[in-house]
Structure 1
C-alpha cells in the first residue's frame, strides 16, 4: 500500500547540472536545500560539455570585447544589460569554481612561485583567447567537482531518480495570490507521487532538444522545467531559436555522439552519398563556414536527395595524423565498425541547445513569486538569436550566483507554507497501452525534425501545429486515465514545449540567427525577443 509522503525544505532545486549544483552550494550556508535529480546526479548536459567557459583572464582581452562578440553572435536581439552583467561577473564566478576545485588547464612550465596563468583557447565568435577549459572535457570536470562538494555538504539533501511532475502554487490550491510553494514529484524507485514543500523553488532542468529526432543532448533533456513553468503561468521567450550542431554521428548504436568541428578545421570534407562535395557550392568558406550555414546545407542536401545522412571524410589524411589528433573519435567509430582513416563517417545535424526558455529577470526570478529559473531552462536575454560558444556553462554559474543572492535576501521574510493535498490516484489505472506512448513519442520527434527543424516554412509550421494539437489531446486523455511514468511525464512536457516552439516560430516573420524561414528570408530592421504568455492561450 502506498503512503502519503511529504518533504519540507527552504529551497527546492529541480535539476542537478552546473546551474542547480552551483545554486545549492551558494545557498547551503543560509538554508536547508533539497536537490532533485531525474537520474543519477552526474547525468545531464553539463557532463557532456566539451569546450569550456568564456571569461576574461587575458590582459589583452576586455569585458567590452566579450560583450561585443556576444552581441554579434546573438544577431541583434540580446539584452545588452544582461550581456554586460554576465561578462563582467564571469571572472569572479570562474574563480569561485577554481576555489571549489575545478582544475582548469594551465600554461606549461609554470613553477609554484609563478602567478597562475590558465591556458585559454579561442572558439567561433570570440575575438580573443578567453576559453577556460579542462582538456576537451570541461563539463565533466565542472560536474564531478560540484557533485563531490554537494555530497559532502550537511545542509544539502540530494534526491536521485525523482521526476518533477508539476509545480504547486497558491493559485493551484485556490488560495490568495500566486506564489510557488513546492512541487509534486514522482519517486521512480517505488513509482509513487510525493510532495516537496519549499519556500523557494528553482528550475535548473536544462533544455528541450529531445523534442527533435536527432540531438546531441542526453535523454534527460526533455524540457520539463519550461513545460512546468508554462503550466504554472510563466511567460516564455525565444523558443524558436534552437541551435543545431552540424555533425552528429549517424548510427543506431551511437546516440548523442558529436563529431567536433576541429575535424573540418583539420581538413575533413563533407560529402554526398555519391562522394561529391557540396559545401564549396554553398559558401566560399566551404566546410569552415559558420555552424548554422553548414547545418542548413547538410539539411538541404538530405531533403533534396531523400538521404538519411551525409558523410564527413578525413580519410585523405595519414592514419597517424588522425589517430593522434582525434583518438576518442577514432576509437568510437572503430567500435561501430567505421574506420575513419579509410572511409567516410555518416553524419546528421543534431539539436544542441535551447536558446529560449522561461522568462526571468537579472536575478533568475520568473513571473511567479518564489519561482526561479537558471541555466538553459531560462531566457535571460544573454543569447539572443544564437548562443556564442562557451557562454552556456558561464550563464549557469553567473545566474546561479545571482539567484542565490536574491533568495538569501528574501529568506528572512519567508512565509508559512499552507497544507498541500496528497496526489490523488483514486481514479486512474495502470497503463496497458504503453505502445501508444512510444508511437506518439516517435511521431512528435519526427515531425518536429521535418517541419520545425533547421529550415522552416509557414506551411510546415502550420502542419506541425495541427499535429502537435492532436497529440496534446491524446496525451491529456492518457494522463487523465493512467498512472504516471517517466515516458508519460517526459512526453507530456515535450509536446507542450513543441507547441511553444511552433508558436514562437510562427510569430517571427523574418530569418534571424538560428531561425530560418524560406517564406521570410530577410531580417527585419526592428526586431526583438518573441515573448508569449499562457494568458493568451
Structure 2
C-alpha cells in the first residue's frame, strides 16, 4: 500500500552552465560520498574500471566516522539471525520489507568478517569479539571498537584499504551541485571545488552515497555537511523518494548551553545507565516495560514528555551505579567530551535531550541499490531500502551501508563494463538563466538558522497538522525567493537543498495521518494494527529529457 505525491520545482539544475565553457572529466564509476557506503562501493568496484570518489568535506568527515555504538550482527551461538530480523521488524512498526531484513541480517556476520579482513580492530573480551546490547535488541550482538569510536576505526581501515588496493581517485572538498541526466538516464554529475570551480564528471554509472539530512534541525548529532544534498539532487534528477517524514531522533545528545551537541551512544544505556529527571526520578519504566532499552522512538518521546512535565530543557543520564573501570574502558571518548565541560561521566549526572540523528526516508532502491533512474545507484542513509521501516533499530545503519555499498559497487561495475570507453559528453543544457543576486542582499545564515528552529519546533518529535502546515507555508515562502537565485558557493547551494528536503519532509508528514515509529502526530496518536503505507514523492515537471 502506498501513496504517490508530486512536488513542484522551479528548475532542474541549481546553476547556469554551458558544457563548452567548463572542464570535463570522465570515469567508469562515479561515487558521490566518502562514508561507509561510498568506501564499500569503491572496494566492490571492478579493479579494471576507473572510479572517482567525491567528498563534500575532508574524507574523514562523515556520519559514518562519528558513529559510536557499533554494528549489529549475530555472532553469539545463543543468538540467531531470526532474532535479529524479528527485532528489526518489531522496531520498524509495520513498515519493514521482510525480504530485505532477512537478506541484510543474514549477511551481517560475513560483513563483519570483511571489516576484520580490511584491518578494523574491534574490541575483544576473553579472546572473542566483545558484544554489547542496545535498545530494541533481544540479545547482545553489537560489536564495537575503541570503546565508543566504532565508526572512526571502521572508516580508518576502509579508507586505508581503498587507497592501498584500488586506483580510485578521491576528490575532497568537492560539492556535487546536481546529477546530469540525458533522456532520463544518469550520465554523471556537475560538481564544484575550490581548485578548479565547476566541472562535468561524465560517468558510465553513478553511485549516490551522500548520507543524511540531520542538519535540517537545530538539535542534531550530525556534522555540518549533512544537509540532505543527495536527497535533493536525486529528486531534481527525477528519482522517486519514499517516507521522507521518517526522521529518527536519537534520545541522548549531550545538552550544554553554548556547547556543540555530542552524541551519547545508545550503548551507555545498554551497559546499564539510567535516565532520570531533574528530581532524580528514574522515569523510563513509566513509559515502557523495557525502560532505557526501549526503541529509540519511545525513549525520545518519553524524554520529551518528561522535560515538558518538569519544565526543564534536559533530563540526565545516570552512570553512578556502574563500575567506574567499566565506564572508563567502555566509553573513553564520551568521557573525554564530558570532561571538556567539567563533567565526570562516572560520577556526575550528564544532561541530555533528543536530537535529529538518522534520515530513514530517502531514494527508493532495490536489493542491488538501483534507483528509479537508469545509471544511478544509491546506498546508505540517502536511501529507503526497506530495512528500517518506521524506526531504525540501533546499530543497523552501518550494516545497511556496508551491504548496499557492496551491492551497488558490484552492480554498477557490471553495467559500466557493458559501455564502451568511447562514450562521449551528451548535449546537455541548463535551465533558463537564474537570477544573479548580490550575496549581500540575502543573509543565508539567518535563513538557515530560522529553518532549523522552525523544523525543530513544528516537525520534530511531536507533530500536528497546524504546526506542519504553518511550517510548510513558511518554508515555501523562503524557497520562493531562495530557489530563484544563482548562487556561486556551497552555502547557497546547501541552503537551496535544505529548503527542498524540508518541503519533502513536511508534505510527507502531513500526508501520514497516523503515528508510526519515529513519526508521531499528536492529533493522530494511535498506530493502526495494519501495516503502514509508504509515501512516495517525485517531481512534477518534465524530467524524461534534459531541458
Task: Verify same fold: TM over 0.5.
Answer: yes
> How far off its partner does 1:521 sit?
1.0
RMSD: 2.8
C-alpha separation in 2, matches of 1:409 and 1:62:
33
The partner residue of 1:270 within 269, 273, 276 is 276
C-alpha separation in 2, matches of 1:140 and 1:318:
26
Q: Residue in 1 aligned with 2:131?
A: 120
CA 1:261 to 1:153, structure 2 compared with 1: closer, same or farther past 3 Å?
closer
The partner residue of 1:356 within 354, 361, 372 is 361
> How far off its partner does 1:67 sit?
1.6
1:78 aligns with 2:96: yes
1:517 aligns with 2:521: yes
C-alpha separation in 2, matches of 1:376 and 1:218:
14
C-alpha separation in 1, matches of 2:473 and 2:170:
41
C-alpha separation in 2, matches of 1:427 and 1:83:
44
> How far off its partner does 1:212 sit?
0.7
- SS of the residue corresponding to residue 203 of structure 2 reads strand
CA 1:333 to 1:434, structure 2 compared with 1: closer, same or farther past 3 Å?
farther
The partner residue of 2:163 within 147, 151, 170 is 151
Q: Residue in 1 aligned with 2:188?
A: 182
> How far off its partner does 1:525 sit?
3.1
Give the TM-score normalised by structure 1. 0.88
Contact 1:163/1:188 (8 A) holds in 2: no
- SS of the residue corresponding to residue 499 of structure 2 reads helix
Contact 1:218/1:256 (8 A) holds in 2: no
Measured against aligned partners, the alpha-carbon deviations of 1:263-304 in whole angstroms (never above 9, x if no partner) come to: 5554544223x7666556545665555432331133234456
C-alpha separation in 2, matches of 1:286 and 1:486:
43
**Unpaired segments of 5 or more residues in structure 2?**
1-19, 542-547
> How far off its partner does 1:530 sit?
2.5
The partner residue of 2:228 within 223, 239, 245 is 223
- Comparing 337-346 and 152-161, the one that deviates more: 337-346
C-alpha separation in 2, matches of 1:286 and 1:27:
44
CA 1:519 to 1:353, structure 2 compared with 1: closer, same or farther past 3 Å?
same
Contact 1:44/1:218 (8 A) holds in 2: yes
C-alpha separation in 1, matches of 2:76 and 2:234:
39
CA 1:525 to 1:335, structure 2 compared with 1: closer, same or farther past 3 Å?
closer
Q: Residue in 1 aligned with 2:198?
A: 193
> How far off its partner does 1:246 sit?
1.4
> How far off its partner does 1:475 sit?
1.3
1:25 aligns with 2:38: no
The partner residue of 1:66 within 78, 81, 84 is 84
Q: Residue in 1 aligned with 2:3?
A: none
C-alpha separation in 2, matches of 1:395 and 1:286:
27
Q: Residue in 2 aligned with 1:43?
A: 61
The partner residue of 1:530 within 516, 522, 534 is 534
1:489 aligns with 2:496: no
Contact 2:284/2:302 (8 A) holds in 1: yes
> How far off its partner does 1:20 sit?
0.2
Contact 2:215/2:222 (8 A) holds in 1: yes
C-alpha separation in 1, matches of 2:209 and 2:320:
42
C-alpha separation in 2, matches of 1:96 and 1:340:
34
Q: Say which structure, 1 or 2, has more relative contact order (CA 8 Å, 6+ apart).
A: 2
Q: Matches of residues 44-443 of structure 1 in structure 2 within 5 Å?
A: 44-109=62-127, 117-134=128-145, 135-153=147-165, 155-170=167-182, 177-189=183-195, 192-252=197-257, 254-261=259-266, 263-264=268-269, 266-272=272-278, 279=284, 282-283=287-288, 287=292, 289-303=294-308, 307-313=312-318, 326-338=331-343, 344-414=349-419, 416-419=423-426, 431-433=438-440, 436-443=443-450
Give the TM-score normalised by structure 2. 0.87
1:13 aligns with 2:20: no
Contact 1:270/1:287 (8 A) holds in 2: no
- SS of the residue corresponding to residue 433 of structure 1 reads helix
> How far off its partner does 1:412 sit?
3.1
> How far off its partner does 1:129 sit?
2.9
C-alpha separation in 1, matches of 2:479 and 2:66:
31
Contact 2:136/2:295 (8 A) holds in 1: no
> How far off its partner does 1:389 sit?
1.4
CA 1:342 to 1:392, structure 2 compared with 1: closer, same or farther past 3 Å?
closer
1:472 aligns with 2:489: no
Contact 2:30/2:51 (8 A) holds in 1: yes
C-alpha separation in 2, matches of 1:364 and 1:501:
22
> How far off its partner does 1:351 sit?
0.7
- SS of the residue corresponding to residue 525 of structure 1 reads coil
- SS of the residue corresponding to residue 534 of structure 1 reads strand
CA 1:349 to 1:327, structure 2 compared with 1: closer, same or farther past 3 Å?
same
- Comparing 275-284 and 66-75, the one that deviates more: 275-284
Measured against aligned partners, the alpha-carbon deviations of 1:235-260 in whole angstroms (never above 9, x if no partner) come to: 11111111111121123553241223
